[in-house]
Amino acid sequence: MAYTAKDITVLEGLEPVRKRPGMYIGGVGLPGLHHLVWEVVDNSIDEAMNGYATEVVVTLHKDGRSITVSDNGRGVPIDKHPKHKLPAVQIIFSTLHAGGKFEEGNYKTAGGLHGVGASVVNALSTKLTVTVKRDGVAWQMSFRRGKPIDKLKRMGKARGSGTTVFFQPDPTIFPRTDFNAQTIIDRLKVASFLHKGIKVTFVNEPKGERTTFNYPGGIVEYLDAIRKERNCRPVHDSACSLERINGARVEMVFQWTESTDEHLRSYVNGIPTGSGGTHENGFRAGLNKAVRNYIETHKLAPRGVTISSDDIREGLVGVLSVFISDPQFQGQTKDRLNNPEVQSIVDGVVRPGLEQWLNQNRTTAEMIIARIILAARAREASRAASASISRKTATSKVTLPGKLSDCTSKNRDNTELFIVEGDSAGGSAKQGRDRNSQAILPLRGKVLNTEGSALNKVLDNKELSDLITALGCGIGPAFDIGKLRYQRIILLADADSDGHHITTLLLTFFYRHLPELVRQGRVYVAVPPLYRIDIGKETHWAIDEDQKERILSKAKGNAKPDITRFKGLGEMMPKTLWQTTLDPKTRRLLRVDVSDRLATDRVLDELMGKDPQARFHFIMDRAEEAEELDV
């Protein structure tokens, strides 16, 4: 086929955003939908961060699918741009890379520096209206899918100043356009912690609720909230709080707890950086140096045990907030900071600051060092246990679990391990599978809840120990993904509440103890049908009640439907299980993906953690939303 100049497409204006929204908001799922809110809110927060606003109000309207964000800042400029001869507000909302944050002067620090946030929200909305109050006058302009539908209009006199943005996401772009109120509340609450003194209000019109956040204690109060949320008991009473302006404004607070993992929440100009970056690298480097220097100076090094960086950070809970004038983020979603100079800046704050704090609080320091040494000894014990299992899995197939029905392929590519609920379902799966590429490992009942469990306790559990052996990649310090024996790991449980519980327990295990498999997209959840529906000569499969009702509503003719509800996978004939759940051509798989590590961590801690109060509140707060109970 000829390839000439006429085959080149030039996207103009905001067309690139609508054509490839994922490049600008990360995707069109719920995280991408809520990213529209963050873009508009970040602009208002930038006004407050630089001393021009004191209040931000976010309103979720009654339809649940439209948002208004307002602030009492200076208001977006409405005068005509000297070069483009259009009102500045029109340029900002309809042109990529247009804004007042590229040059220094208007904003010392800001979260929105790419100049695409407002225009991207506009491009992906069926309607966007911006109202500006400046110099005693209100102005308004409306857009549809990024294009102006009228000129800038003078609305009359107005008190004060500020900007109000109303927008409604485009359902032709987003599969779902209903916002999650709790997701918005969580983000706004964090913004109030990070910018102490700023009043942030959320108005939830569907529920008739109004919530205001204002935390004068800033990130110190935030750390207390995180510890309570995670139910972490602190090792020492007072947290270490450091703050300095040295080429950047650096604020941090951290505390060692009895938890077995590290939990650091980092932010740049108020924007969460879930994937870390150079500021987190600087924090960890400075922390490591300061603790090692203290141990060496006071001759506290234990005999026979080598302290690692992971031992030093085990149980650490902290908040790191950095404000810089020219942040370089990785992608428009701003999930990771890339500025190389920030690492040394943060390191230069942490190392001397923490050393001084440890020396001034000797009793607290000794408690922290004792905690670190305990972590090192526990790691050594876990390494010995996991190495034993790793050696067994590395030898031969004779050491594999007896109940594992392995596949015959010698090549790992395209092989799958199905972790199946129960021996009965395991029997059907073994008979119905493709023996060349599909392995079956049946589980006996519900596995151990590994949320908060130490590695040695996990290894003592027979079902999980067999699973680790079957995977072959080891666990903990002995983990090596290069030794993983299968390309995909697929969780296959019944389509009822018990099956969902078993799947949740397994997901908790993989996320907490084999997170790299999740990060690399190796873990999947199979979606078996719950109903078989025969209508005349046609057979339909429904995964839940809703799909069953949709199938029945579309049924034609007078044929009476014959509905079968599967009590479990073991009831399925091997051929049926192959057709609906095992056959790569017809099955449905959900790949396990974590888009928000902080939210995932919070949900797991709430639902699977040791504190029953968290689950009680979760159930009571959402009792009205329950449509059907499987008891």
Full-prediction pTM beyond 0.85? Answer: no
Mean pLDDT score, 42-65: 90
Mean pLDDT score, 302-330: 88
Using the structure block, give the residue that is written with the tokens 């799947």: 503
Q: Over 70: is that where the pLDDT of 625 sits?
A: no
Query: What stretch(es) of the chain map to CATH 3.30.565.10?
Result: 15-213
Q: How confident is the model at residue 392 (pLDDT cuts 50, 70, 90)?
A: very low
| Catalytic residue selected from 170, 251, 416, 421 | 421
Q: What is the per-residue pLDDT for 630?
A: 55
pLDDT digits (tens, 9 = 90+) for 138-158: 999 999 998 999 899 999 999
Q: In the CATH hierarchy, which top-level class contains the domain 15-213?
A: alpha beta
Q: List residues bridging with 80 in a β-sheet.
A: 87
The hierarchical CATH code for the domain 398-528+590-594 is: 3.40.50.670
What CA–CA distance (Å, rounded) separates 535 from 532? 10
Distance (Å) of CA 26 to CA 20, 36, 113, 331: 10, 11, 17, 9
Query: What stretch(es) of the chain map to CATH 3.30.230.10?
Result: 219-380
What CA–CA distance (Å, rounded) separates 580 from 589? 11
pLDDT digits (tens, 9 = 90+) for 160-183: 999 999 999 999 999 899 999 999
Q: What is the per-residue pLDDT for 101?
A: 38
| Catalytic residue selected from 366, 451, 496, 596 | 496
Nearest to 459 by CA among 380, 389, 391: 389
Please give the sequence-ordered ranges of beta strands (E in DSSP) within 311-426, or none if there are none: 316-323, 416-421
What CA–CA distance (Å, rounded) separates 151 from 597? 43
pLDDT digits (tens, 9 = 90+) for 327-380: 888 765 567 899 999 999 999 999 999 999 999 999 999 999 989 988 888 777
3 state SS of 266: strand
Q: What is the per-residue pLDDT for 34?
A: 92
Mean pLDDT score, 54-64: 95
Q: What is the per-residue pLDDT for 440?
A: 93
| Catalytic residue selected from 55, 451, 498, 611 | 498
Active site residue 421: yes
Q: In the CATH hierarchy, which top-level class contains the domain 219-380?
A: alpha beta
Q: Over 90: is that where the pLDDT of 397 sits?
A: no
What CA–CA distance (Å, rounded) separates 501 from 238? 39
| Catalytic residue selected from 494, 601, 605, 606 | 494
Mean pLDDT score, 94-121: 52
Query: What stretch(es) of the chain map to CATH 3.40.50.670?
Result: 398-528+590-594
pLDDT digits (tens, 9 = 90+) for 243-290: 998 778 899 999 999 888 899 999 998 888 888 899 999 999 999 999
Q: What is the per-residue pLDDT for 627?
A: 59
Q: List residues bridging with 87 in a β-sheet.
A: 80
What CA–CA distance (Å, rounded) separates 155 from 152? 9
Active site residue 178: no
Q: What is the per-residue pLDDT for 199?
A: 92
Q: Over 80: is that where the pLDDT of 526 sits?
A: yes
Active site residue 546: no
The two tokens of residue 268 are 């740049």
Indicate the Cα dihedral angle 100, 101, 106, 108, nearest 10°.
170
Active site residue 496: yes
